Each structure stands twice: as structure tokens, then as C-alpha cells.
Amino acid sequence: MQRAWALATHRTFENVGHMSRMSDGLLAGSAEQRRWTNFETANHGHGRASAGDEREAVWLVVVFVLCGAFLPAVVAGA
């Protein structure tokens, strides 16, 4: 479970970093935007999600749902 959590949080922060780079590229102009778009396309299979990416997304949702369900009870001391 700890490994799944570590992978989920790593992927989340990786995606946040990507969004930040994309917004920087949009602000910098079309050449910068194309550079980041080409980089992401080359590294992520032409924009299509792989089966591994879909499994990671499912695990991420499961982890956050479980945390949302059990964390309040733990904090309340139940």
C-alpha cells in the first residue's frame, strides 16, 4: 500500500509539473508551446494513455476515496 501511495503521489506531482510547464509555454509564445507539446507527445505515446496510465489513474482514485472515507474517523479518534 505504501508503494502504491508513493507511485500515486509521484504521478500527481509529475502531472502538476507538466501543467505548470504547459502554462509557461502558452505564456511564452507558440514556439515554446510547440516545444513542450512535442516533448510530451514523444514521451507519452502520441497523446494516448497506455494501460499502465489508466491503472495508475484508477489506483489514484481508489487511494483518495479511501483516504476521504477513513481519514476523518482517524482524526476524530474513532
Give residue 10's pLDDT: 59
60 Cβ partners below 8 Å, 6+ apart?
Answer: 8, 11, 12
Domain layout of the chain by residue ranges: 2-76
pLDDT in tens, 13-61: 555 555 555 555 555 556 655 555 555 555 555 555 566 677 788 888 8
Give the separation between CA 25 and CA 22, rounded to whole angstroms. Answer: 5
Distance CA 31, CA 42 (A): 16
